[in-house]
Every structure is written in C-alpha cells, then in structure tokens.
C-alpha cells in the first residue's frame, strides 16, 4: 500500500475523539505536528515512520479537489517547519499544519466543528434559562 501513496498526500489516523493529520513525505515517512503526548508535553513538527504516525490505528488519505500545493511542493512546505514547537490545540494543531502545507491556509475543520457545536449548545442552555426565576427568557 505504501507504493500507492503519493508524496505530499494528506494522511489522517483515527485517535480517541479526533483524527490526527500529517503529510506523507515518501519512503514510509510522515511529517506531522507531534502535539501533546500522554504527559501533556508539547512535541514539535517532526518526520517519523508511518507506523509511529499511526500508532497502530491505521490511516486514510484525505482527498483534495484543488490543492494549492501538492507532491514535492507540499513536502517542502512541511519540511520547512520541522522543529517548530508552537503547538496550540485550537490555533496550531496537526490539522492546521497539514492544511497549511497542502491547501495554503492554516485551518482545522475539527476545531471549527467543535466550536460550532459548543456555541449551539451554549445557545440552547442560555435560551432555556429564565431571568429572576420568571418566565422571561434571556436574550440570545
């Protein structure tokens, strides 16, 4: 299967509650943001073996319709950030990194979806509360 993976492919690997993201660099290597390990210490952008990237959870290739950077150009962008240690769960995570390498824009659809769900849940809670114990709902 490795021989079928194109260089610069956007890879994902399932974790508990989220997908981990990286960029395939060829020769069985993936460049990814190490993020937080089990001890909640931050790890930098690094190039690791595919097995280390997946941690035994398997992987999938994320399809791109019109990538801004692909192949060796995406890998070059990924390698330009090796050693960077500014991981931020909501602002600079592994998905932000892979999206920047391939799409040219740092973003995380997982974070955007989580924020949207949190806002919707908060709106429901606030909308169901009453002011002063009466029946007048709080403004949204």
Q: What is the pLDDT of residues 61-90, one digit of tens each?
A: 999 999 999 999 999 999 999 999 999 889
137 assigned to some structural domain = no
Tell me whether residue 121 is in a domain: yes
Q: What is the pTM of this model?
A: 0.83
Question: Does the structure show a pLDDT above 60 at 136?
Answer: no
Q: What is the domain count for the chain?
A: 1
pLDDT digits (tens, 9 = 90+) for 89-128: 899 999 999 999 999 999 999 999 889 988 888 888 877 6
CATH number at residue 51: 3.90.1720.10
Task: Please report whether residue 34 resides in a domain.
Answer: yes
Q: What is the 3-state secondary structure (H, E, C) of the chain?
A: CHHHCCCCCEEEEEECCEEEEEEEEECCEEEEEEEECCCCCEEEEEEEEHHHHHCCCCCEEECCCCCCCCCHHHHHHHHCCCCCCCCECCCECHHHHHHHHHHCCCCCHHHHHHHHHHHHHHHHHHHCCECCCCCCECCC
Domain carrying residue 102: 2-127
pLDDT over 70 percentage in the chain:
86
- With respect to residue 19, please indicate whether it lies within any of the assigned structural domains: yes
């Amino acid at each position: 299967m490795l021989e079928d993976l194109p260089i610069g492919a956007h890879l994902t690997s399932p974790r508990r509650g989220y997908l981990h993201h990286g960029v395939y660099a060829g020769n069985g290597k993936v460049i990814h943001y190490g993020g937080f390990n089990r001890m909640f210490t931050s790890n930098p952008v690094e190039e690791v073996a595919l097995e280390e990237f997946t941690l035994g959870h398997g992987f999938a290739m994320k399809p791109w319709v019109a990538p801004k950077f692909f192949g060796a150009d995406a890998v070059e962008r990924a390698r330009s950030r090796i050693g960077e240690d500014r991981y931020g769960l909501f602002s600079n995570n592994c998905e932000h990194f892979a999206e920047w390498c391939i799409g040219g824009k740092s973003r995380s659809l997982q974070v955007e979806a989580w924020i949207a769900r949190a806002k919707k849940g908060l709106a429901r809670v606030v909308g169901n509360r009453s002011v002063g114990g009466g029946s007048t709902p709080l403004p949204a």
